[in-house]
Amino acid sequence: METTLASSNDWRAQQQAHFRRRALDNLTIVLFLAPAFVLFLVFVIYPILQSVYYSLFNWKGFGPAVDFVGLNNYVGILSDQIFLKAVKNGLLIVALSLTLQLPLSLALALMVGRDLPGRTFFRTIFFMPYVFSEVITAIMWQSLYNPDPERGLINALLVLIPGVKAQAWLGDPNMVMACIFVVLTWKYFGLHMLLYMAGLQNIPAEIEEAARIDGADRRQLLTYITLPLLGGTIRTTVYLSAIGSLQQFILIWIMTKGGPVNASEVMATYMYRFGFVRFWLGYGCAVAIVMFLICLIFSLVFQRMARQPDYLGSI
Amino acid sequence: MRKPILFLSLLVTLSLVLAACGPTPAAPTEAPPPTEAPTKAPEKVTITWWHISTAEEHKALWQKLADEYMAAHPNVTIEITVLENEAFKAKMTTVMQSGEPPDIFQSWGGGVMNEYANAGMLKDITPDLDADGGAWRNTFAPGALGVYAYKGKNYGVPWDMGMIGWWYNKDLFAQAGIQEPPKTWTELLDDVKKLKDAGITPIAVGMGDKWPGMHMWAYLVTRIGGKDNFEGALLRTGSFTDPPFVEAGQKLQELLALEPFQDGFLGATYGDEATAMGNGKVAMELMGQWAPAVMNDNSADKQGIGDKLGWFPFPMVEGGKGDPNDAVGGGNGFAIGKNASPEAVDFVKYLSRPESQVQLAEIGVIIPVVKGGEAGLKDPLMITLQQSLAKAQYFQLYYDQALPPAMGSVINDSVQGLFAGTLTPEQLGQAIEDSAKTELQ
């Protein structure tokens, strides 16, 4: 299909062929995009619009929605102490993820990505939790946290220490969030570690070598070379981690159902409770929209504030 | 050279998309089985059946009954889905919203079933029950069948009806020096103290699942207020903030103050509760007639605590208006989905024969609801329970089933709050009343 007309002197024919090829190219693009675009419209945009519609009704999920209540559902959500608690818990997970989970992942990436002996072994081990399904993870940790020392491994080990008593863990409203955070960290640090390792591999060895020749010690190498060049990856993981934390559901629902007494409630468990346990589908839709807006606003602000240097840097 | 490849891949993509959109190729048609008689074989029918009887023996018996029916009716295929209780409830909400209920499924009757019926998700089987002069209807105990009726129409049938009571470990009671089970609330509190003094955990409760503890409160309300109190609140002539509802919370607080529960009870599931009882580590639990089966299944050796298990009804509360014989309970039944075929209804009829009931009673998982079924009742505890139930003048269906789902959920959540000490008895009543204002109209 190499255009044989190119050898011809006919400028018009050449031009026509060019346009035809352009049109064909565009058609190709459109055809390739169309299936994904249609799926996106049907499965993402349409349900969101539908949720917005239902969120304006007092609707129980059966039959058509008829009881229009305007913005009442939203007023109810924003004035509900339990929802505010859920938002607070979500922000707590975000804060802890950013201050503990990500630095841990980075530290491990620096170790297993570079010079630790047996690093492939550790890499596999560290990544393993991420491969497990969330349901399996939740059930496994539920057993580990079992308050009965004869059934829960953690308590079984704890009672071996003289003077230490078994703890209620997930059954203790004051401890439950910390317990859940441990599970979240265990589950997701491997993913972030992997992202950091990929980022580290993109840093040219020459730059580090040059710095070393200039007399930079290990600490200087890390703070002036490695971390700045890893900036893009760090921003990506911060974004993923924050959004993931705000939308956390499966692990928490299985382990605690948001309990005891809403102590581990997050926005998604709150939404499920009202939508699918109490059958208040309209209210549940409104919660979903509030969640969507919170995540959207966070994304936009984050893109604006943190992501920009990436684009500039790549120019 | 790039273009042909592009075109090729485009072609492949398109054909894949088109193939995906097109009608699925028909499965290879089976050759019709050679029939000796020229009569047309009955049409093939598939019945979908969801039940939650996960205990081994029980599950096997349902399977056996289905196999028997399929053997007798070769044109019928019964697809059984066995679900765990909580998973079943979650799954039902989604299939109901999509409008595709299974043909036969677990139901407790009451508020949840009524909501399904209101939405047109259930099949009215009144004509089937009344056929042949009510031949099928008359086999049932009327009270039990009534739980599956709504506005004069029947949408399901019961296969079990029992009551909640205290299951206790006789050995542990003896160790604590308790001669006989408590008859009054004060005696119960005393016994809890004795058990604690003897170093025994008095009560197991799975408060993470909420409903196990909710029944404690519901029983106290029933004992203190009696029938008129609850019906008043239900029919809106009274309120859920009326004194009996608040007093029940205060009585419960007396019990909570003794810290009678196993460690971590606020996050525990009913499974944890049953395990603690089945392994003989806790003295008692408040639970329905299924407790021994679940206890055995959850115990380490699958045997439970055997004949060390005892049962006593919920004690009377001094000065309460309720009769000490009044019972809180409920049962299990099957609701019939709107798409159910006549064969599905016929199969349910088969399941509710006295013979089936006898077999279920023999493995100790039900209190029969069909006349003649009690012949299978061998377990002395089950006989005690059935006799106790027969004495009840007022039978209160579980609150979280009798009321609309939203209210049931509010009650469960709020009682958990009382257990955790974050809600007062007054706030508990108020939360339920707030919900009643919108749900009971």
B14 exposed, middle or buried (CB, 10 Å; 0-12, 13-18, 19+)?
A: middle
pLDDT for the residue B47: 95
Angstrom distance (rounded) from CA B405 to CA A62: 13
Does B124 score more than 90 pLDDT?
yes
Stretch B140-157: mean pLDDT: 87
Residue B28: its pLDDT value, please?
Answer: 42
Partners of B106 in beta bridges? B334
Residue A112's closest CA among A123, A98, A126? A123
Question: What's the rounded Cα separation, in Å, for the pair B61 and B77?
Answer: 17
The residue type of A99 is: T
| Helix segments in chain A, DSSP class H | 11-40, 46-54, 72-78, 81-96, 102-112, 119-131, 134-144, 153-158, 176-201, 205-213, 218-220, 227-229, 231-246, 250-256, 267-272, 281-302, 308-314
Cβ neighbour number for residue B335 with a 10 Å cutoff: 30
pLDDT of residue A83: 94
A21 Cα to chain B: minimum distance (Å): 10
Which of B204, B196, B214 lies closest to B419, judged by CA?
A: B214
Closest Cβ opposite residue A276 in set B93, B266, B404: B93
pLDDT at B202 over 60: yes
Question: Are the Cβ atoms of B406 and A280 closer than 8 angstroms?
Answer: yes
User: What is the layout of strands, in order, in the sheet containing B165-169?
Assistant: B201-203, B282-287, B165-169, B309-312
Percent helix, strand, coil in chain B, to 5, is 50, 15, 35
**Contact residues, chain A, for B13 at CB < 8 Å:** 31-32, 35
* pLDDT given at position A311: 47
**Residue of A60, A72, A271 to mutate for B, most B C-beta atoms under 10 A:** A60
Confidence band for B206, pLDDT divided at 50, 70 and 90: very high
Q: How far apart are CA A289 and CA A312, in angstroms?
A: 33
Which residue(s) pair with B162 in the sheet?
A: B330
Q: Long-range CB contacts (< 8 A, 24+ apart) of B124-130? A: B124/B153, B124/B154, B124/B155, B125/B154, B125/B155, B125/B156, B125/B157, B125/B336, B125/B345, B126/B152, B126/B153, B126/B154, B128/B345, B128/B349, B129/B154, B129/B157
Are B409 and A277 spatial neighbours (Cβ–Cβ below 8 Å)?
Answer: yes
DSSP line for A205-267? HHHHHHHHHTT--HHHIIIIIIHHHTHHHHHHHHHHHHHHHHT--HHHHHHHTT-STTTT--H
What is the enclosing helix (H) or strand (E) of B81?
A: strand B76-82
The partner residues of B337 in beta bridges, in order of sequence, read: B122
Other CB atoms within a 10 A radius of the CB of residue A250 amount to 14
A168/B264 Cβ within 8 A: yes
- Residue A91's alpha-carbon distances to A12, A183, B349, in angstroms, are 64, 17, 55
CB contact under 8 A, B3 and A171: no
Answer yes or no: is pLDDT of B184 > 90. Answer: yes
Could you tell me the end-to-end alpha-carbon distance of chain B, in angstroms, rounded to an integer?
74
- Rounded to an integer, what distance in angstroms lies between the CA atom of residue B368 and that of residue B380? 14
Give this prediction's pTM: 0.78
Hey, which residues does B150 pair with through a beta bridge? Answer: B153
Phi-psi region of B340 (alpha: psi -120 to 50; beta: other; left: phi over 0): beta
Tell me if B340 sits within 8 A of B103, measured CB to CB: yes
**For position B288, what pLDDT does the model report?**
92
Interval A135-157: pLDDT, tens: 999 999 999 999 888 888 999 99
CA of A247 vs chain B CAs: smallest distance (Å): 20
CB spacing of A63 vs B119 below 8 angstroms: yes
- For chain A, which ranges sit under pLDDT 50? 1-2, 5-6, 311-315
Options 3.10.20.10, 1.10.3720.10, 3.40.50.1820, 3.20.20.70; which CATH number does A81-277+308-314 get?
1.10.3720.10
Distance in angstroms (rounded) separating the CA atoms of residues B62 and B41: 27
- Enumerate the domain spans of chain A: 1-48, 81-277+308-314
Which of A146, A166, A260 has the CB atom closest to B416's CB atom?
A: A260
CA distance A147 to chain B (A): 6
Structure tokens at A298: 């966070």
pLDDT in tens, B324-383: 989 999 889 999 999 999 999 999 999 999 999 999 998 878 889 888 888 888 888 988
Output the pLDDT for position A206: 87
Residue partners of A302: CB distance under 8 A and separation at least 6: A238, A239, A242
Q: What is the pLDDT of residue B12?
A: 44
Mark out the alpha helices in B299-341 (DSSP H runs): none
ipTM, 2 dp:
0.77
Contact B43, B75 (CB under 8 A): yes
Interface residues of A toward B, Cβ cutoff 8 Å, are: 1-2, 28, 31-32, 35, 60-63, 146-148, 151, 166-173, 176, 256-257, 259-261, 273, 276-281
Of B13, B93, B267, the CB nearest to A260: B267
For B45, other C-beta atoms within 10 Å of its C-beta total 17
Crossing angle of helices A231-246 and A176-201, rounded to 10°: 150
What pLDDT score was predicted for residue B35? 44
For B174-185, give the DSSP string.
HHTT--S--SBH
**With contact defined as beta carbons under 8 Å apart, do A189 and A199 qualify?**
no
Which of B2, B266, B299 is the mutation pick for testing A, counting most A CBs within 10 A?
A: B266
| Selected residue with higher pLDDT from B302 and B66 | B66
- Chain A's closest residue to B12, CA to CA, is A32
**Which one, of A182, A30, A52, lies nearest residue B13 by Cα?**
A30
Among the partner-chain residues B4, B17, B276, the one whose CB lies closest to the CB of A35 is B17
Give chain B positions within 8 Å (CB) of A63: 119-120
**What was the pLDDT predicted at A1?**
46
Cβ separation A151–B275 shorter than 8 A: yes
| Confidence band of B6 (pLDDT split at 50, 70, 90) | very low
Classified as helix, coil or strand, B245 is helix
Q: Give the model confidence (pLDDT) of B376-427 as tens digits.
A: 888 889 889 888 887 887 888 899 888 888 899 999 999 999 999 999 999 9
Is there a contact between A68 and A299 (Cβ–Cβ < 8 Å)? no
Residue B34 pLDDT grade (very low, low, confident, very high; cuts 50, 70, 90): very low
**Residue from the list B93, B97, B422 with its beta carbon closest to the beta carbon of A261:** B422
- How far apart CA B196 and CA B382 sit, in angstroms, is 29
Q: What is the pLDDT of residue B374?
A: 84
Residues of chain B positioned with their CB less than 8 A from the CB of A169: 264, 267
Locate the chain B residue with the closest alpha carbon to A253. Answer: B208
Look at residue B97 in the predicted model and tell me its pLDDT: 79
SS3 of A175, please?
Answer: coil
Contact partners, residue B68, CB within 8 Å, separation at least 6: B350
- From chain A, pick out residues whose CB is under 8 angstroms from the CB of B422: 173, 261
How far is the CA of B429 from the CAs of B317, B329, B434, in angstroms?
Answer: 19, 21, 9
C-alpha torsion sign, points A293, A298, A304, A310: negative
- Tell me the per-residue pLDDT of B277-327, one tens digit each, with 9 for 90 and over: 999 999 999 999 889 989 998 998 888 898 899 999 999 999 999 999 899
What distance in Å separates residue A5's CA from the closest CA in chain B? Answer: 16
Tell me the Cα Rg of chain B.
25
SS3 B4: helix
* pLDDT tens digits, B264-273: 899 999 999 9
